[in-house]
Amino acid sequence: MGARLSDLGYAAGWAAVRALPESVARRLFTAGADLATRRQGPDSQLRRNLARVLGVAPAEVPDDLVRDAMRSYARYWREAFRLPSMDHEAVAREMDRTIDGLEHLDAALAAGRGVVVALPHAANWDLGGTWLARRYGSFATVAERLRPESLYQRFLDYREGLGFTIIPHSGG
């Protein structure tokens, strides 16, 4: 039952968030992040992760850093839910303007070699993948096979709709 609710929650997110004006969606997701931050305990996983990066004890992680990290995560989901309806050309122009090292990708592809690009779950990798697919014509990625299958299919449809070729991590 929990897996089915999760799938329905994502479906609702994709539908509802795209219908909202960007300013409303931004305020809602920021408020949700701030609420989630306030509910975090002093030894939350997020605080422990940040402590590891900073090399300090969890209690020494600044509260505003925890809040900003949670806001960043909320922004990722807001953008992910809105991405199918965003102006992909405008996104591509902005990314072309801000990404360093494009000449290396262009040179490798012009030489007829494939390129392996690491897009970690940092910032919005769906946005980065969309940019790659638009700029270079294709982009393949390995994806975790989520449960239930309907949720996996929802993410598969979403990412294929953005121009990705999906290779399932398992069960493919």
Q: Are residues 6 and 55 in the same domain?
A: yes
3-state DSSP call for residue 42?
coil
**Given a cut of 80, is residue 1 above it in pLDDT?**
no
User: Tens of pLDDT along 122-160?
Assistant: 668 888 888 888 888 888 888 888 888 898 998 899 999
Q: Which domain holds residue 93?
A: 86-172
Q: Are residues 60 and 98 in the same domain?
A: no
Q: What is the pTM of this model?
A: 0.82
Report the distance separating Cα 134 and Cα 24, nearest Å: 28
Structural domain count, the chain: 2
Domain end marker among 85, 117, 151: 85
Q: Are residues 106 and 120 in the same domain?
A: yes
User: Tens of pLDDT along 101-129?
Assistant: 989 999 999 999 888 887 666 668 888 88
